[in-house]
């Protein structure tokens, strides 16, 4: 039986005033299956093309916190200790910083949210040749 899920795309916006961004991650939440996961893929070359002076180490550290918060990893601080639904809503809340998220979208998955995550990562984050 299909399950509904919500997802958002994590974006890096190196120069917020320009509005240009690179997709850098996906967050998927399925309440029915008690599933919350975030995956991050950083394309450093594309980020450097948008802004050569970007502090990639700092951006990477902030991006690496997202999957930890989604997983409820205690090393990610107090937000990671919130209930799963609250963690999702915190992760997808609008921001005007270098790391932003898209609006939340919904979908249906036949094979489970893990498969939906795999498909979204392939579609939205795979390297373009």
- Tens-place pLDDT, residues 11-62: 999 988 888 999 999 999 999 999 999 999 999 999 999 999 999 999 999 9
pLDDT band at 126; cut points 50, 70, 90: confident
Do residues 28 and 116 make contact, with C-beta atoms less than 8 angstroms apart? Answer: yes
Alpha carbons 9 and 26: distance in angstroms, whole number: 5
Do residues 80 and 87 make contact, with C-beta atoms less than 8 angstroms apart? Answer: yes
Beta-bridge partners for 101: 10
List the chain domain ranges: 3-30+40-106
Alpha carbons 113 and 97: distance in angstroms, whole number: 28
The reported pTM is 0.94
**What is the gyration radius of the CA atoms in the chain, in angstroms?**
15
pLDDT band at 129; cut points 50, 70, 90: very low
Over the stretch 90-99, which tens digit does the pLDDT of each residue have? Answer: 999 998 899 9
């Amino acid at each position: 039986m299909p399950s509904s899920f919500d997802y958002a795309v994590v974006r890096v916006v190196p120069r917020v005033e320009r509005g240009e961004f690179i997709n850098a991650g996906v967050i998927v939440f399925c309440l029915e299956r008690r599933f919350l996961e975030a995956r991050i893929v950083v394309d450093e070359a594309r980020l450097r093309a948008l802004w050569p002076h970007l502090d990639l180490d700092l951006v990477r550290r902030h991006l690496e916190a997202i999957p930890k918060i989604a997983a409820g990893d205690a090393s990610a601080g107090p937000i990671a200790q919130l209930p799963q639904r609250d963690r999702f809503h915190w992760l997808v809340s609008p921001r005007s910083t270098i790391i932003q998220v898209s609006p939340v979208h919904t979908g249906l998955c036949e094979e489970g949210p893990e498969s939906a995550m795999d498909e979204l990562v392939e579609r939205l984050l795979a390297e373009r040749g």
